[in-house]
């Protein structure tokens, strides 16, 4: 069955450092992959999308890579700030024809310490 794995342990880093979060998938060939941020008590918020033919995508301090050979996506936050503390979810998406359903990872909790 399709499986999405994200770092199960919380990630604690110092302010100003780069946070790197991992998303691995198995038995799956997603056409693209999305990353979301979720704060406690709130719904997820879309951050970035990367297509299968893109190796890297950037948005301000965020960078996502997508390695279809390794079946892995890495999510980087550079110059991290305490406000970046949240849970980050990855969601690979199937190819067209599946009513746009996403499969969700459990998320990785990030804490940025001042």
Partner 1 sequence: DAGITQSPRHKVTETGTPVTLRCHQTENHRYMYWYRQDPGHGLRLIHYSYGVKDTDKGEVSDGYSVSRSKTEDFLLTLESATSSQTSVYFCATARGESYNEQFFGPGTRLTVL
Q: Which residues bind partner 1 (CB under 8 A)?
A: 32, 34, 41-46, 49, 51, 89, 91, 93, 96, 99-102, 104-107
Q: Which is nearer to partner 1, 80 or 91 (CB)?
A: 91
Least distance between partner 1 and beta carbon 102 (Å): 7
Residue 28 main-chain phi, psi, to 5 deg: -160, 145
Q: Which is nearer to partner 1, 17 or 55 (CB)?
A: 55
Cα distances (angstroms) measured from residue 109 to each of 2, 19, 31, 73:
22, 11, 26, 16
Distance CA 82, CA 95 (A): 36
Least distance between partner 1 and beta carbon 57 (Å): 12
Q: Which is nearer to partner 1, 30 or 80 (CB)?
A: 30
The dihedral of CA 54, 28, 70, 90: what is its sign? positive
Least distance between partner 1 and beta carbon 100 (Å): 4
């Amino acid at each position: 069955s399709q499986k999405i794995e994200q770092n199960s342990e919380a990630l604690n880093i110092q302010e100003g450092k780069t946070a790197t979060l991992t998303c691995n998938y198995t038995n799956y060939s997603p056409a693209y992959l999305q990353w979301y941020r979720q704060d406690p008590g709130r719904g997820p918020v879309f951050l970035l999308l990367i297509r299968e033919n893109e190796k890297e995508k950037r948005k301000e301090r965020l960078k996502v890579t997508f390695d279809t050979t390794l079946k892995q996506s890495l999510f980087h936050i550079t110059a991290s700030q305490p406000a970046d503390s949240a849970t980050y979810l990855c969601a690979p998406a199937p190819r067209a024809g599946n009513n746009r359903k996403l499969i969700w990872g459990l998320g990785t909790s990030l804490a940025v310490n001042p």
